[in-house]
C-alpha cells in the first residue's frame, strides 16, 4: 500500500467512513507507526474532546486457580484433582504463582474487599478458573455475602467464559444463570476469556473453553438484559494478523446490535511459564500498533483502555496518544499476568502523574465511566 493510499484511507476513516477488515489489515501491516498513532489520536479527540483522561481503582480477586480448561497460554491455573488448600493466602500484585491449589474462603474474600474500600476502590473484578466442583449456588452466595457487607462496591464479575461454563454445569440457560447472578449482586460483566474470537485459534490454545460464538452469545444475552460490560483481546500468540481483525469485526458487529460494551481493552500475550513459552513476546511498539488500529476500527466503542499491567507505565502513558482515552485501573491486586512473570503495578499518584505528563487532567471514574471526582 502506497503512502498516498494510506493517507487517503486514514482521511476517509477520520471523516466517518467505516474501516473494513481488509483495509484495517492493510493499515496494520503497512502504515508507519507514528502515522497510525496520529490518526488514532485524532479519532480519540473527535470522540473525547475533553481535556481529561480517566482511570479507576479496583482489585482483581481470583476466587480459585483450579481450572478444567487447561489453556496453553495460562500460567495461573492448576488442574483439578489434587487436594485443595483451605485458604489461599493474601496475594499481592507481586505474587508469583505457586503449585498450591485453592478456593477462596468467604472471610478472605470480605477481607480483600475491605482492604480495597479502605484504599479508595469502588469495584471488584471477580474472576477464577473453571472449577468442576463448585455449584452455581456457591457463586450466588459469594455475591450475596459481598453485597450485604459492601453494598456500595460494584461486583464486576465472571467472564463470559465462566458464565458459559456455569450454564453447562448447572443445566440452565445462559440467561437463567445471568439472571440468578444479577439477583445475587452481579453488577457488570468483564470481557475476559475472549483471547481471539476465531474458532481456529481457540481450538489450538483453549479447546476446552467456550467457543467464540458462545462467548459472544453470553455478552449478547447480558446486554439484552440491560447489562453492561467490557470487551477484550489478548493477542500475540498463535493468531495471524487477519484473525485479529476478524476478532475486532465480531466485537464491532455485536456492539452495533446491542451497544452494551463500555470499553475495549487489548493486551499482548505474556509467554512466561506457559505452554507457549517458546513464542517471542511482542514489543511495546507492537502493542501500540494494535491499539491504534483498534481505535480506528472500533468506531462504535466509546472507550479504549491502556494496558499498563502488561506494558508498564511508560508505554501506557504513550497509549494516550495512540487511541486510548483511559489508563485502566490502579490494580491493587493482579495474579494472572503476574504468574507469567510480568509485574507492572502503579499506585494512584503514579497513574495521575502519568496522565498529566501526557497533557491531560486525571479524573477518576467507575466501571460505567461515570466520573467520581
Mean pLDDT over the full length of the chain: 90
- The alpha carbon of 295 is separated from its chain's Cα centroid by a whole number of angstroms, namely 16
Distance CA 82, CA 248 (A): 39
Please indicate, yes or no, if residue 23 is contained in any of the structural domains: no
Residue 21 lies in a domain: no
Please give the Cα distance from 316 to 102 (Å, whole number): 32
Interval 231-253: pLDDT, tens: 999 999 999 999 999 999 999 99
Segment holding 289, helix H or strand E: helix 284-297
Split at pLDDT 50, 70, 90, the class of 79 is confident
Crossing angle for the helix pair 348-357 and 308-318, nearest 10 degrees? 30
pLDDT at 39: 98
Taking a C-beta distance cutoff of 8 angstroms, is the pair 61, 222 a contact? no
In a domain, 1, yes or no: no
Residue 4 lies in a domain: no
Residue 342 confidence (pLDDT)? 55
Q: What is the pLDDT of residue 334?
A: 53
Structural domain contains residue 267: yes
pLDDT range class, residue 343, cuts 50, 70, 90 = low
Task: List the CATH number of the domain containing 331.
Answer: 3.20.20.70
pLDDT at 96 over 50: no
Q: Minimum mean pLDDT among 54-68, 82-96, 109-123, 153-167: which range?
A: 82-96
* Residues facing 52 on adjacent strands: 361
Residue 26 falls inside a structural domain: no
Domain that holds residue 182: 32-364
If you average pLDDT over residues 83-95, what whole number do you get? 41
**In which residue are the cell numbers 467505516 written?**
18
Residue 256, exposed/middle/buried by CB under 10 A (0-12, 13-18, 19+)? exposed
HSE at residue 16, side-chain half, CA atoms within 13 A, is 0
Specify if 7 maps to a domain.
no
Residue 127 has pLDDT above 50, yes or no: yes
Q: At what angle do helices 3-14 and 33-47 cross, to 10 degrees?
A: 10
Q: How many domains does the chain have?
A: 1
Domain presence at residue 319: yes
More confident residue, 98 or 331: 331
> pTM for this structure?
0.91
Amino acid at each position: 500500500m502506497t503512502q498516498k493510499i494510506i493517507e487517503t484511507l486514514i482521511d476517509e476513516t477520520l471523516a466517518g467512513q467505516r474501516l473494513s477488515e481488509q483495509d484495517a489489515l492493510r493499515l496494520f501491516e503497512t502504515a508507519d507507526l507514528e502515522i497510525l498513532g496520529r490518526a488514532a489520536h485524532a479519532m480519540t479527540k473527535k470522540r473525547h474532546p475533553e481535556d481529561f483522561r480517566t482511570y479507576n481503582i479496583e482489585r482483581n480477586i481470583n476466587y480459585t486457580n483450579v481450572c478444567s480448561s487447561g489453556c496453553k497460554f495460562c500460567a495461573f491455573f492448576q488442574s483439578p484433582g489434587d487436594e485443595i488448600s483451605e485458604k489461599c493466602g493474601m496475594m499481592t500484585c507481586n505474587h508469583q504463582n505457586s503449585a498450591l491449589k485453592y478456593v477462596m474462603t468467604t472471610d478472605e474474600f470480605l477481607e480483600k474487599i475491605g482492604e480495597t474500600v479502605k484504599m479508595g476502590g469502588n469495584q471488584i473484578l471477580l474472576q477464577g478458573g473453571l472449577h468442576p466442583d463448585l455449584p452455581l449456588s456457591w457463586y450466588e452466595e459469594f455475591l450475596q455475602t459481598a453485597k450485604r457487607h459492601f453494598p456500595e462496591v460494584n461486583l464486576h464479575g465472571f467472564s463470559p467464559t465462566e458464565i458459559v461454563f456455569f450454564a453447562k454445569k448447572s443445566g440452565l440457560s445462559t440467561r437463567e444463570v445471568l439472571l440468578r447472578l444479577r439477583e445475587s449482586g452481579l453488577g457488570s460483566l468483564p470481557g475476559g476469556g475472549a483471547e481471539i474470537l476465531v474458532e481456529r485459534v481457540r481450538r489450538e490454545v483453549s479447546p476446552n473453553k467456550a467457543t467464540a460464538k458462545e462467548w459472544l452469545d453470553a455478552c449478547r444475552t447480558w446486554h439484552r438484559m440491560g447489562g453492561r460490560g467490557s470487551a477484550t483481546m489478548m493477542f500475540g500468540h498463535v493468531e495471524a494478523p487477519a484473525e485479529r481483525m476478524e476478532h475486532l469485526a465480531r466485537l464491532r458487529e455485536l456492539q452495533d446490535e446491542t451497544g452494551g460494551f463500555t470499553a475495549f481493552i487489548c493486551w499482548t500475550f505474556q509467554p512466561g511459564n506457559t505452554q507457549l513459552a517458546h513464542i517471542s513476546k511482542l514489543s511495546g511498539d507492537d502493542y501500540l500498533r494494535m491499539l491504534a488500529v483498534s481505535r480506528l476500527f472500533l468506531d462504535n466503542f466509546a472507550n479504549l483502555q491502556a494496558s499498563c499491567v502488561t506494558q508498564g507505565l511508560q508505554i501506557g502513558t504513550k497509549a494516550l496518544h495512540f487511541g486510548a482515552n483511559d489508563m485502566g485501573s490502579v490494580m491493587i491486586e493482579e495474579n494472572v499476568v503476574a504468574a507469567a512473570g510480568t509485574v507492572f503495578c502503579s499506585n494512584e499518584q503514579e497513574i495521575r502523574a502519568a496522565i498529566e505528563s501526557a497533557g491531560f487532567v486525571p479524573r477518576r471514574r467507575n466501571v460505567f465511566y461515570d466520573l467520581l471526582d
